[in-house]
Amino acid sequence: MYTYDEFDRTFIAERAAQFRDQVARRLSGELTEDEFRPLRLMNGVYLQLHAYMLRIAIPYGTLSSGQLRKLAHVARVFDRGYGHFTTRQNLQLNWIKLSDMPQVLEELAGAGVHAMQTSGNCIRNITTDQWGGVAPGEIEDPRFWAEILRQWSTMHPEFTFLPRKFKIAITGTPDDRAAVKVHDIGLRIIENEQGETGFEVSAGGGLGRSPFIAKVIRDFLPKQDLLSYLEAILRVYNAHGRRDNIYKARIKILVHDLGAERFAAEVEEEWAQIKDSYLKLDPAFVADIRSRFVYPEYETLEDDPAVLKTALSANARFALWHGNSTAKHKISGYAIVTLSLKPIGKPPGDATSGQMEAIADLADRYSYGEIRVGHDQNLVLPHVRQQDLPALWKQLDAIGVATPNAGLITDIISCPGLDYCSLANARAIPVAMEIAQRFAPIEKAQSIGPLHINISGCINACGHHHIGHIGILGVEKNGREFYQITLGGKADEDATLGQLLGPAIPYEEVAGTIERIVSRYLDLRLSADEIFIGTVTRLGVTPFKEALYALH
């Protein structure tokens, strides 16, 4: 965990106090809505279909148990007792009154939580691997660099009014769990031939109306130059990004229009001006940030302890969950545990206040008080002793977060869709729930193997449909909900955009169509070892078109 210092605490508290004053002036009529809107957005407050929504930042997806308890408390007292974890590692509360918002932000500030950088045309909350700091094979903990970027970007005066929002993701392992290739800037921590660690920098990725995979614009960036180089990218974007057309304002359009090579050359030219400025990272500053990341004092333990082996052979349900939802930890004797927020019959990514409190208690007991949020809308306990897994599983099972479906067809990523969002044109959550219901028997989902379904309720693509193995995009046609299906998308280190399968289908036919696509895959796969995306990559989308043609 990163520990805030007095500066951070004061800053967050002052921001909450400012917002109290701004809300009071809005409610009294002193501020018009046009004047107030940018102020509320800077504090994560949106106006949605039914009510105000508060999007709370969870920087690089790391929460303490105390912070999770506070989120649970706020959700219970000021909202309807649940929250929605998003693909941006944030938490959204859907029903908070504007008049309560100042108190909510003050309560959150008391726990070191805020809602800055969750909205507006600024550098947004920086996202990363939910296994940061614990993944085997990790070159370096990406959260450390995400924290440096957070401090640099929060309230950066030059980048508070960018042409559009700006998203940065960072990963520290060769396996990309943070979808860095579909971000405005994607950073991969790498090691060069001299054994030095630095960053491979990509730019111009993004989803939405015009999806692009980011292009590598620098193969190796020394760590000390991280801020100056990113500042150079932002300056080029700030100077040349289009402000005349909201649909062409993201950096991906600029990189595409200029070409990656020319864009990179412009960045290099700008960088040369500022490379040796105050932005060069001072080793003392870096060491100070590092010292604030407190890691658990791990015990010396062996892998596969006897209590685990016994439980695995004695309890088939536990063994099933263990095989699906735990992963190897960088420290022997420990495990990384995924908590599924995708139970059959419930909205993907949602957790009740009761669940959040229980998870906070379990984190204290079994994971050094730390919880992670993944962009896949699941939670993680990052430091669990393997010998504790049987006891932990029983308690996770009791609170409904031990569905052994991580990475399977029922582990669906979904935006809130038309059930909440004022931008959406179609529902997403009920589609996800219906598909999950069709594949509810866990043996069925397991026999299909890894398969990622991503659903968005509009072209803005908060549900990352372009990079789902199966992507589902809701559109509106003559007052009815229709859905476009794409196949072959990937969010990993070989990120790929899915291809459209055919004409959009109506709401009622989506789940059946997905069943036929899966059935076709089972017929076509070379063996049970060839996962869905492997079959689509090998054969293309054409053999799957009959799943749609059955309807038309």
Partner 1 sequence: MGRKAMVSPLQQKIRVSGPVVVTANRLSDGAVVYLAKSGLWTQELGAATVLWSAEEAQAALKAAQSDGLEAVGAYLAPIDASETAAQPGNLREFIRIGGPTFALPSAGPQRVAA
The three-class DSSP label of residue 6 is helix
Nearest Cα neighbor of 252 from 217, 218, 210 is 210
How does 101-139 read in b/e, with b if 16+ C-beta sit within 10 Å?
bbbbbbbbbebbbbbbbbbbbbbbbbbbbbbbbbbeebb
Decide if 520 contacts 543 (C-beta within 8 A). yes
Decide if 196 contacts 212 (C-beta within 8 A). no
Name the residue nearer to partner 1 (CB basis): 381 or 533: 381
Minimum separation from the CB atom of position 222 to partner 1 (A): 44
Name the residue nearer to partner 1 (CB basis): 96 or 217: 96
488: which 2 tokens? 């072959």
Name the residue nearer to partner 1 (CB basis): 245 or 300: 245
Residues in touch with partner 1 (CB under 8 A): 26-27, 29, 32-33, 47-52, 76, 80-82, 95, 97-99, 346-347, 350-355, 357-359, 361-362, 365, 395, 398-400, 418-420, 422-425, 427, 429-430, 433, 458, 476, 478-481
Minimum separation from the CB atom of position 29 to partner 1 (A): 5
Minimum separation from the CB atom of position 35 to partner 1 (A): 10
505 residue type, one letter: I
Minimum separation from the CB atom of position 550 to partner 1 (A): 25
Name the residue nearer to partner 1 (CB basis): 138 or 481: 481
Name the residue nearer to partner 1 (CB basis): 187 or 362: 362
Nearest Cα neighbor of 389 from 489, 304, 447 is 304
Name the residue nearer to partner 1 (CB basis): 264 or 399: 399
Minimum separation from the CB atom of position 221 to partner 1 (A): 39
Name the residue nearer to partner 1 (CB basis): 31 or 155: 31
| Residue that has been written with the tokens 């990937």 in this structure | 490
Q: Radius of gyration (Cα) for the chain, nearest Å? A: 23
For residue 214, the tally of other CB atoms under 10 A from its CB is 24
Name the residue nearer to partner 1 (CB basis): 65 or 228: 65
3-state secondary structure 89-139: CCEEECCCCHHHHHHHHHHHHHCCCCCCCCCCCCECCCEECCCCCCCCCCC
353 residue type, one letter: S
The three-class DSSP label of residue 147 is helix
CA distance 264 to 136: 32
Minimum separation from the CB atom of position 87 to partner 1 (A): 18
Minimum separation from the CB atom of position 475 to partner 1 (A): 10
Minimum separation from the CB atom of position 355 to partner 1 (A): 6
Minimum separation from the CB atom of position 52 to partner 1 (A): 4
Name the residue nearer to partner 1 (CB basis): 115 or 180: 115
54: which 2 tokens? 């508060």
Decide if 86 contacts 92 (C-beta within 8 A). yes
